[in-house]
Structure 1
């Protein structure tokens, strides 16, 4: 069974409006095939790259319409996506400024996201086979482990952000609100309410274990096609989450091993939630790893493995030279930004329209 979201200086120069007579770089290099999604974060398309015929996902957002914070978030997503190399994390390929549009080219997952399959399974009244749940869960853990080993909290684990590629390979995606923490905890209250842990509802500092709570919610949803904490208002949702009470899984539907693992993730005390290394080392998890592509995350990687903060120039048109290098199979990139966030390119980066 295949189951298938930047503060500018006040005197900063805004990008110029796209001249209708000027052909966008996007259309000279890519063939737009299909709209995949649209929201406050921007628009995502399935595209074909003309130079290699490869199929990719391309997200574009109008930076002129973004607030300063939104611009910072967009660039941060690019930075983190380009920093993590793991088969269970959506792959970064390129980012470029095209007039007013900031474009990110990423790996395309042909089978969509997990929310699609949860919806379909619910409509058909057909439960997810347990072996498929284990297969997906293990791969999500591996992708999250890769993020956590690079000191990155995803902060928005949910079915819509888990993508399914060919051969049931599962990938963590959408790092739009992900955050890198070098030490201590994060404090910003952010995420999707139904998957937010108790510590966020109480406005307390949180860390990597917040992703594990969300993972527990996702695991529950795969088994029941509903979120563990349902409510008609935010106040009611907060009360239910802080109580930690949810409808039990129907006995006999899934094994106690799977149910107990879900329960261990939905611990109110974040210190009691198991770490990813320990989850992946569990005998029951090892038992279900047969046939699952396994790649361990690098241990304690050095800081230079993650791109430094990309400084946004007052003239946005100069941002192009500060974005991470393009990464396509068989093609060399342009190098990494230096301490000032400027790439010393081996090859000139593609010119941004509107220069």
Structure 2
């Protein structure tokens, strides 16, 4: 029996229970974390509704669902122009014990960057930097609040017709204080330290992802292809060159493997992308440094001369809110599934 104010529909044969204020649902995408639909709200504005897939199937899934809700909610406290605006989370289930269906609603400003890139083929230097500066601005804000995105890629960035850019999809995000896991970031955008060190990486692993995205914007091609983590890592070495001994000493788990490969000099970007301005080449070289200790933070990258040269506006703001995610120590304490259900249920009641 439907609750008042809701209607039922099917999306890809999955049952959806939707608030009456959201109409005209059409599927945008379907991924491991959820099904995403475009809809109109009662003010005729477009919104995005994501139904989480199997959000409470396991303890790990429940933690991921709770993290995403908490991060979106705390980011709503002080909205940032380059991070998607969160509207609400809701469920039609009637108790924590029966909780199965969770819906996240955010604003819609346009298609994702991957779809836009397929349409245009590649971007000119000025437009590529306009996009990159906005992504770095959103990242710098997240990082200043201790949040790592951990899955930055073109399909997790949205762009409007007037070049407004926002980061979305925080399903894999973590607080910097949580224990990290190695299997994060879609492979082509995964920083080498994630492959090498697994649980030991920091915020500028996201900056590596931005470097990969900028290269893709300029060339129309994914920089690091690879059907496995090993092949992907080899492609990185072939591109950035063999790390020196001081860098290798920081990744003992990968020393033998790297030394088993033929020595490689870094690719000369002047030959690889000869149409690109020198200042952008220098920015790419900085963001794609193998050693994270030598790679800039998002805020540092925003200070690069290339943005000023091409007139790309750089907006920097730190967040100073108290995010409730810090109050839930996901990996340092035991949270049973029933505890997590209750926490998520409470968040759904807040809207």
TM-score under structure 2 normalisation? 0.75
Unmatched segments (≥5 aa) in structure 1: 1-16, 327-355
CA positional deviation for 1:80? 0.7
Once the two structures are superposed, residues 192-248 of structure 1 have per-residue CA deviations (whole angstroms, 9 ceiling, x without a partner) of 111111111112410011001111111111111122222344322222224535764
1:79 equivalent among 70, 80, 96: 70
Query: How far apart in 1 are the matches of 2:282 and 2:138?
Result: 22
Other-structure match for 2:48: 57
Asked whether the 8 Å contact 1:58–1:103 carries over to 2, the reply is yes
Unmatched segments (≥5 aa) in structure 2: 9-16, 94-99, 242-265
3-state DSSP class of the match of 1:131? helix
Is 1:136 matched up with 2:134? Answer: no
Other-structure match for 1:5: none
CA positional deviation for 1:320? 3.4
1:180 equivalent among 175, 178, 192: 175
Is 1:26 matched up with 2:18? Answer: yes
2:36 equivalent among 44, 50, 57: 44
3-state DSSP class of the match of 1:101? coil
Query: How far apart in 1 are the matches of 2:301 and 2:181?
Result: 26
Is 1:115 matched up with 2:137? Answer: no
3-state DSSP class of the match of 1:120? helix
Query: How far apart in 2 are the matches of 1:161 and 1:78?
Result: 16
Asked whether the 8 Å contact 2:35–2:53 carries over to 1, the reply is no
Other-structure match for 2:256: none
3-state DSSP class of the match of 1:202? helix
3-state DSSP class of the match of 1:138? helix
CA positional deviation for 1:30? 1.4
1:255 equivalent among 277, 286, 298: 277
3-state DSSP class of the match of 1:47? strand
Is 1:155 matched up with 2:161? Answer: no
Question: Residues 219, 47 of structure 1: CA spacing in aligned structure 2 closer, same or farther, 3 A cutoff?
Answer: same
Asked whether the 8 Å contact 2:50–2:105 carries over to 1, the reply is yes
Is 1:93 matched up with 2:92? Answer: no
Once the two structures are superposed, residues 66-125 of structure 1 have per-residue CA deviations (whole angstroms, 9 ceiling, x without a partner) of 322112212211111122221101111100112332000001122x11111222233xxx
Q: How many residues align?
A: 298
RMSD over equivalenced CA pairs, Å = 2.9
Query: How far apart in 2 are the matches of 1:166 and 1:307?
Result: 36
3-state DSSP class of the match of 2:317? coil
3-state DSSP class of the match of 1:222? helix
- The more displaced of 236-245 and 304-313 is 304-313
Other-structure match for 1:297: 317
Is 1:145 matched up with 2:140? Answer: yes
Q: Which has the higher helix share?
A: 2
Once the two structures are superposed, residues 117-161 of structure 1 have per-residue CA deviations (whole angstroms, 9 ceiling, x without a partner) of 222233xxxx41111011101100101011101101111111111
